[in-house]
Every structure is written in C-alpha cells, then in structure tokens.
Chains A and B, each alone.
Chain A
C-alpha cells in the first residue's frame, strides 16, 4: 500500500529545477496559514476528468468531491460526456470503522453497468490512504472482471499540490492506458503529434487543431481535452509529443520518450508569437521540407490577417501596463501575447513556475524589467499594481475580487476564462477583451464615487 508519493515524482531530469534544491521535498511544502492552490487530488482530477468516455470516482468522505464538483469546463465535440458528473463513495463513519473497499467495489460495478464507460479512474484520498485501504487490489480485481481499465490514482491531498497531482495522473495514464492499443491505419496521416496538457477550456483545443490541420499536421491524441480512452491508448504511435500546458506533464512526455522513443517539445499557443513559434518548432522537429514550407506560408497569411483584425485594439493598448499572475507556462507565454498587443508587462507571478519557466521569462524580457512575483499574497499584488500604476491585472478567478474590489480592471486568464485565448482567433479574443475592459468607464465612475455619503 502506497501512502507517500513516489520519490520519482520529485526527480525530474527534464526539468532544470531538478537538483537546485538540495532537499527535493522543499518543492512540495506550503506555508500553514496561507491561502494556497489545490491539492494532488485537484491536480489529478483536472488531468483525467476531461476524458469523455471514462468515469472518475473519488474514494473519499463527501468533502473531496461534494464541495466542488461540476466547476471546470472542458468542451467536447459530442454530447455524450460524463464530465459534468461527480461520483464519490462518500465515506462515512461506519465505512471508517468497517472499511469501505466493498462499497467502492459495489460503486464501480454499479456505474459500469449503468454508464458503460471505457475506463474508470479511482482517486485515492487522504482518509482511505490513512486507513490503508487496498485501492490497488480492488482496481486489479475489477479490471479483470469488467474487462476495462480500472485505474488507481494515488492522489491523496497530503502528498502534495496540484502539480504533483498532474504528475500522478500522467503516471496513471502511462502505467495503465498508453500503449494498450494500436491505431487504425486511417487515423494516421504523414505527420502525427499528441498534445499533452491541453484541456480544451472554452474550445481552445479546437482552435489549435484547426490551425495545425491547415498546416498539415494531424493531432492523433490529446491528453486530455475532448479525448477518448482509445485515443490515449494509441497515443504512443504519434511521431512527436507537444507539451502545451503544465510543466508537470513533462514527466509523462519523458516517460513516453524513454519507453517508446517518442521525442517531445514544449510549446504554447497563447499569442501570435508563441503560436507561430510553436508551429515552427513542431515542423522543425518533424523536419520535412514541404511541411515547413506549408507552415511558413500559413503563418504568414494568418499573422497578417490577425494583425489587421487587432489593429485598432493594439493602437489603443500600446504602452498600457499589465500585471500577470498565473501559473507555469502562462507565466511566460502570456507575456509574449501581451507584448504582441504592444502592452508592457510590469510583473509576473512565478510562484507556480519552474526554473525553466523563469528562464523563458528572462528570454522574452531581455532588459530584465519584469518583476518576478514569488509572493502571491493579494495584498502584495495590489501594492505593486498601485505603485507601478498598472492598467490591468490578468490572473485566475481567485484574484478577481482582489483586483476589482480595489477598482483595478481585471481579466480572468485561468480555467474560468470566458473566451478561448489560444491560436490566432484567441489572440483576437484577448485583444478585444482587454480593450473593452480598459475602455470601460465604470472604474472611473466608481473611483469618483468611492466616498462615504
């Protein structure tokens, strides 16, 4: 029975952060008394739940799922989708005393019979991990009986944060799903890639796929936006892995490289510059002359087209100052997106960024003008925003009220964003949203009215 997280999760040769901290455990501690992000369960659930023909059962007391399900969105091309469903064993006092393995077993069998899923993910959580329930045993037994993958996910929250959860989910896919099937021949084209870490928030995946298709690149599997278990099973047959969101899923890409010899690159589709660069990185990795020509041609047309469409917005936004507080890849990829709009990024949050993310920031910010914010304390954010006379804060939903209560314009760029911000269309959405937010007379009105009558 595994209670502690695998040591391996904290050893990431592909990450330049590796070995920086002597005590690797330092990477996973949070300060008591602070407001932090989610736990390992949160991270694992985010990665696995978009798979539309699998079910996710959280083996836990009611709080782990009951307090928070049905909140993230992941678009899907088909209607049939269990993403909105929340399943939990809702461990109660009796279960704690007598054990809840039977309850879990019955639960899995029930949902299997009723929903006919292609796979079931079982999330272990703090309480059953402490009482030492054999989730792995139940999973093995039922996988044999039901003849579908029943995958244990060791995501107990005390093991670590959301990033660790991403890794744990990646490991679950690698161990139990990937490589279990070969793709039908007609699914493969000349150039096949996988997108790792793309969850199709607001249909962002569809925009990325559209652009790649025009260039001539086939997305064989997406891990995991709008995906099926089957497509993840045969994802090892792609020619290249493109890791687009979380640094944490580099773990999965590296494992796939070791086992299947599948190379990987990292990229981002936020903003014109990033989108163009990522497309070129992909075609360069593939190394086909014709594909490269086609990509260059496509990029040229789309860039010109997008620049025309955002011209008016850009004219207004040029020189405006932004404060960025988001995690991982977005901490640098959005900088280049904002620079594409002529905006100046005053500061960016790096609390959830890796050393490599920080290097990328430095690459973009050659003069070293951008403040790297290690402290996500809202009071600190507001202080900097005020001192630097920032025009807008771009961050996640949890900072929305920090900004607007202080009468500073705001745009949500995390999972609750209102629009897709990837690829060429996403650039237009981003420009438009920031433009209208900054043009809005409301903030001026409220600042003038913010006196007690």
Chain B
C-alpha cells in the first residue's frame, strides 16, 4: 500500500531542525558523548595532517635554502636503468675535477658553478682542538648557497690557492670565544690557514651544519686531502627556465670530458624537491586515512546512540504518528538530529585540532604544522556524511515503527 503519489510532507525544515535540536539538548550526556566521538575523529585528522604538512614544508624549506636554480653533479652513475656485470668490472668512474667545474661554468646557460670537496680534519687554535668538516670550494659558493658574512670576507676571488679560511658561526664561538677570529692563524691538520671571515649563523642545510664548517679554497682542500676528486659540483642556471637545458648540457659536456662515459649523475633541485614532496604528501594522506578510521568509529557510535534514542522515544514516535506525522517526517527528524550532532561535534573537533596544531607550532617552531584546507574540508564533510549514513538505519527504524505498538510503550 505504500509508495502512492502524495503531496510533499508539509513539515517545514526549520521545524524539523528545531525539533531535532530540542531532542538533542534534552539528553545532554548522550549528546555530549556522541559529539565527543565525532570531535576526536575530526581533531585527529586535523592534527595528524597538520603534522604531515608541517614535515613537508620543513623539508621543502630546507631545500629552498640551497638556492633555487641549482643543478647538482655527483660522481658515479646512480640513475641508469640497466646494470651489466661487465660494466661493473670495467667501468671505473672518473673523478669529478676542478677542471670539470671550470668547463661547466663556460656553458652558455650556466651562470656560475661551485666545486665542493669535503673532508674532515681537526682544527687547532691555541691548544683548543675540535674536529671539523672542511668544505673546499670557490668564492661563487657563497652566492649560490646565499651565505652571509658576519665578519671579514669570503674566500678571495684573486687568490684561488691562498691558505685562507672562512669559519662557521658556532665554530668561531667555540674555538675563539670572545676574541676576534679574523686575522688569526688556524691549524687544520698539518696546514696553517688564516681566518679571513666568519659566516653569519645559518643552521642546518643539506645534511651539513653550516655553522660548524671551515670553508677553504678548493685547490687548498684537494692538496690537504691529497685527492683530485670533488664531492659535488653545484651549477646555477642563468634562469629557472634554463634548468633543464643546463642539466642536459652539463651531462653532455661531462660525457665528452670523461671519454664518452656517463659516469656522473646530474640532478636538479626540482627533482629532489618533487620526490620529497611526493613522499611527504603520501605520508600526509596516509595519516589522514588512519585518522579517518576514528571517524568511522565515531559513526558507529552515532548509530548506536541513535538506536538507543529510537528505543527511548518509541512512545513519542507513536504519538507523532497518531498526530499525523508521515514516515518521512519522522525519518527526517532523526536524521536531522544525527546530522546536527555530527556537525557540532565536527566543528568542535576542528577547533580542538586547530588548537593542537597551534600547540605543535609553539613547541616545534621549525615545523610549520598547519592542517591543509583539503584535510579540514574532507574531515568536516566526512563527519557529516558519517553521521547521516549511520543515522540512516536508526531513522528508518523509527519511521517504520508500528504506531499502535509504539504508543503502548512508555
């Protein structure tokens, strides 16, 4: 007999909402529990995605510290697809040399290059001794890495073989204390260098703490380590658009210089950034999904609580039917109640989550924890959808109650 064509249920939406609101506020404990479950779910999504997004931004900031239009050359081939045993035996990779760096600098789309030789040694001044990382490079390095000089100057352009050094801020305070470092003679291993400059505090960058390094001319470093090879060559393209061309040209040039062997790896900073970005975004999605599980749990709680509500209010449902409420009116009233509780719970959870993200930012200032908009929208939407979905069964059960039996229950 059901399903005949009838007029729209005449109850106004505002009345349904008001009725649901009165019902929700009439059972404060039940309402609070349900909203709490929803709030925890949404807060979990907000905090966890904020954390993931914070980590992503942290890594990207670290890479941006490298400077933008950079191409990095590494010795050895790490990106070739095929590996043949014959290659492994015969292919002895040639070193990256200072001459390679100079040749690269002459390429048309290259603005400048900086060779990097890295080693460790001990630095001694007036009996104070400290193990340090030594970076051998050229004056362009400061411009490419955007290093700032606090005292003195950077490596001199005019004397690539001078025994001079520029030291990090932390090293300066640890080794020299309050005394001026510029002009002092520092012993590095068995060599003596004159300190010509001190870097401004910089912090961590690409796996090195710049505050604790000693920068000396590349030629001096190679002589010190008794090695011709370079750790990296940094290439700065003339503009961002030339990055790809610079990379291709660098690869071709080095292949030619290395007797036709592709024995270096050339990467752009973009590629590194994109990879990290992808990994960390995936991580953020992952934790969002895990947090969403708690939303599903909240949904099941919503269903249980609403089922209890239907049982509690059976007589009331019977009465509404006797007063002429159609099934859909009752279904809507219960759905509205579930939606209302979910939505208020979700908004509370959003505020809670934002507070959590704020606390994270306060305690870990380096980590810019901020939930992405998509996560906030998705969690609010999911909460509402969950409430409605899990509210469906109780609402339908209420709507289908037989009025005579329902009225006898009180």
Asked whether A and B interact, the reply is no
Task: Report B's interface with A, CB cutoff 8 A.
Answer: none
Task: Report A's interface with B, CB cutoff 8 A.
Answer: none
